[in-house]
Amino acid sequence: MNYWLFKSEPGCFSFDDLRQRPGQTEQWDGVRNFQARNFLRDQVQVGDGVLFYHSNIPDPHIAGTAWVVRAGYPDWTACDPTSEHFDPKSSAANPIWYMVDVRYGEPFKRPVSLAELKSHRLLEGMVLLKRSRLSIQPVTPEEWSIILGLGGL
DNA sequence: GCCAACGTTGGC
DNA sequence: GCCAACGTTGGC
């Protein structure tokens, strides 16, 4: 079992959007970065834990948790010309991009802000603080438990 | 809105 | 395979 941090702009898809559909499966599509794709395709497994991070807003933060309910499979939106994530280089026979399915987990009692993550000595190794642009990134079990604690879970 | 970081593209 | 140009991300 592994842990991950998934980023989303809340104006696009927020933790509250996921919260509206408890117990239901959500497709995490639209990832168009090769390193993030490799994680989705090769390493993210059913049962893995996800920290849901809200990016590109005035106070970026982790809002809560989700769970992976389906491992990597081809992201069909890449083959849909009407999708904003359409990629003409991808095809059903040779998919380039992958997605996973997630399910709503638990909301944090207090959102954990980027500033709080930065100021915590035991979190200074987080990928988020070193490779801030990577939209799918691994989280260690230690980081996971510290952050859940900060979130009041 | 600015801009630094950094990923991607394409000429050579 | 190098690297300059360019585009995107995302914090501030």
Q: Domain spans of chain A?
A: 3-73+101-150
Mean pLDDT, chain A, rounded, equals 95
Q: What is the pLDDT of residues A24-55, one digit of tens each?
A: 999 999 999 999 999 999 999 999 999 999 99
Write the Ramachandran bin of A152: left for phi over 0, alpha for psi from -120 to 50, otherwise beta: left
Distance CA A94, CA A99 (A): 15
pLDDT number for residue A144: 98
Answer whether residue A21 shows pLDDT above 90: no
Torsion of CA A68, A24, A99, A136, to 10 degrees: -50
Answer whether residue A120 shows pLDDT above 90: yes
What's the CA A10/C1' C7 distance, rounded, in angstroms? 22
User: What are the structure tokens assigned to A49, written together?
Assistant: 């834990």
Which A residues 51-90 have CB within 7 Å of strand C?
A: 55-58, 60
pLDDT number for residue A92: 85
A34 Cβ nearer than 7 Å to chain B strand? yes
Q: What is the pLDDT of residues A135-147, one digit of tens each?
A: 999 999 999 999 9
Distances (CA, A) of A76 to A18, A22, A31, A95, A150: 20, 24, 11, 8, 37
pLDDT number for residue A89: 85
Mean pLDDT of A105-112: 97
What's the CA A50/C1' C9 distance, rounded, in angstroms? 21
CATH number of A3-73+101-150: 3.10.590.10
Q: What percent of chain A has pLDDT over 90?
A: 86
Q: What percent of chain A has pLDDT over 70?
A: 100
Closest residue, by C-alpha, to the C1' of B5: A133
pLDDT number for residue A27: 96
Answer whether residue A87 shows pLDDT above 90: no
Q: Which residues of A83-98 are buried (b: 16+ CB within 10 A; e: fewer)?
A: eebebeebeeeebbbb
Mean pLDDT of A3-17: 96
What's the CA A95/C1' B11 distance, rounded, in angstroms? 28
A114 Cβ nearer than 7 Å to chain B strand? no
A86 Cβ nearer than 7 Å to chain B strand? no
With bands split at pLDDT 50, 70 and 90, how would you rate the model's confidence at A85?
confident
pLDDT number for residue A107: 97
